[in-house]
Structure 1
Amino acid sequence: MPSVSIPSTVLQRAAPAELGFDVGRLGRIREAIDRDVAAGLIPGAVIGIARHGKIALLEGYGFRDKTAGTPMWADAVFSIASMTKPMVSVGIMMLAEEGRLLLGDPVSKFLPQLAGMKVAKSITSDTLETVPAEREMTVQDLLRHTSGLTYQNRGTSAAYRAYPVHGTSAALSKDDFLVQLGKAPLLFQPGTTWEYGLSTDILGFIIEAVSGQRLGAFLSERLWQPLGMADTGFELTDHTRERYARALPKDPLTGDPLVVHHATGKVSKWESGGGGCVSTVADYLRFSQMLLDGGVGNGQRILGRKTIALMTSDHLGDKIVNRLTQTMDPAFAGYGFGLGFAVRKEQGLSAANGTAGDYYWSGVYGTYFWNDPTERMTVVAGIVAPGPLRLRYRQLIRSLVLQAIVD
């Protein structure tokens, strides 16, 4: 299998052994990915690992386009889907640090179309009945996914069907989308239950309302350019299109066609803060290392240290119903949720290896990152696995990386 590495422009490289890795054990990453490429499970992958502020590994494996036989280089561009969410969450916290919004502010203060939303009596009934919300959803609710908002495609009952279609397939303008969303029911009373959905898209709309900029322009000016994330954005460009990593034609488990939305050439009518970006592993390492370093990246202060600490703390506690493992990934039991990330609360329970206090997020097309503050390590995986296999790689990459740490 082709396996190609390139010099890192993210952080200074160091020998893996100097960063506490056993080189032989680290080689198991290549072996495992090569096996899966040969078995036809994935086309290829890019794995980036930084520890103690230096790059231990940034390497491509397999194919960027298996059909064309194009090798996977380490600068491949991926549709990162929901890994857009942590970046948008950082954008909201920038505005909070400037006093331009409060986490306790009602969402309707910025988006009046979402005032007075009702709550579904049942999330399983084929008939929609609603009750008044006991309180309005807040900015904090959006950040920790306790707003009550969901995605239309997460269920088939009347409550889910009332939601407008999101993403590149959406036919609505942003304004029309918000009007239609305001008529849809919340699945749960705000602040009571973790439910994955449109919350971070709404955060993106709030950034636009407060800043007066398009979401991509704001993130480019305030986050991507300061960190040197030149290959990150909401659309492919002439510079990134030729390096775009493509999925296999069909899911190896189900036989279903695999479609990654940037590969279709469709352009969304609005920039999705919940899942619209493309990026490279190297670019995302710049972002994740900034988080690990307490808000400083590329020599610039992006967020305050205490803000990062707040974001990476659990915000669900014992009273909010946590549906993360029930509805997303059963292997990650023992995780709560912060302001943009799933946060590990204890060493046990989870089938995935890790450390109490680590935090992660992932994308529906297969990309994944996690930070381990105790080990001073950040890991980013670029994998195009849009189907059920993506759950396997979230565990596998953790296992392969952590077993290689010896010091």
Structure 2
Amino acid sequence: MSEVSVKKPALFEDDKMSALEAISQAQFIAFAPYVFQASMLLRDKGILKEVEASRQNGITIEALEAKLNLPHYTLRILLEAGLGIKLVYRKEDKYFLSKLGHFFLNHPMTRVNADFMRDVCYDGAQDLDQSLTDGKPRGLRHLGSWDTIYQGLSILPEPAHSSWFNFDHYYSDNAFPEALPIVFESAPKKVMDIGANTGKFTLSCLNYDKEVHVGLVDLQVQLNVAQKNIEAEGFGDRVSYHTCNVLDAASRLPTGFDIIWMSQFLDCFADDEIVSILQKCHEALPDNGHVFINETFWDRQKFEASAFSLQMTSLYFTTMANGNSQMYDSAVFLKLVDRAGFEVTKDIDNLGVSHTILVLKKK
């Protein structure tokens, strides 16, 4: 094997928290629902923005009341909560934005994550226990009556629809510019995009290589969206659409493709389902073909905060998506790759925001 990662960050291997810090963090967890709701209101009512605008001299509640036309009580109770959360600090009755407040207000990834949690996950989080018991996304009832969220992605109610796709695209799109030279290194003529979603990677391929043909594989409801987006960009003769439910035991993938690409797709499935999908890839792929898997593995992250975000995202899969998948530990995932009859030829970390690309070939 070549270009295979061997070093992993040392995350979650010790307990450095003091007893006092642990007690404080325990209270943060205990009051976490109110921490989240108050933080979002401080952001979305424009309170943090006004505090930021007065960064030099600070701002009083009375001045905020005049600027925002919000009741004095609303401002007082939210700002006092913001003190404990550490989004703001206070000197002589004037409020100032903290470093935490700055990043919560302005950091693009934090905004995407927060909107996703509020609009897609928050109501369903109360059904975590039942979801784990049943192996079903019991929290999904708050958004629709589908068996999995994937059946309803294109028709999710707002603001869940926008927040879901903003979340998904923020992470995947950032990896595409770095991924394309890796995918096209062998000058493939035909690329299969499984889990094509809205067609963004397909469009990236079509623009990157003016000769390549891309076959999109997904549920029909998603292919409808992807086809609309691709045709709007003037592409048609280099694209084919293949309706397929990869979980259907009788389904087969189209053949004749040099490369199979899956981005943030296999994390949507349980262990045995991943093996089954990869076996379908094995069957459809020529002997000299390759599978490219673009995933976010929590154990491959450079920073603990990034790993934490992925671990929490696993709970979204439990309660809202399908009840049985997750953001994987790479060691677990690589065992599934082996079971499916593939070996890893390239293993490249730190692409985009937090991605790893695995390149597979048949054993």
Report the TM-score when normalising by structure 1. 0.26
Which protein has the bigger helix share? 2
> Highest Rg: 1 or 2?
2
Greater relative CO (CA pairs within 8 A, separation 6+): 1
Q: TM-score, normalised by structure 2?
A: 0.28
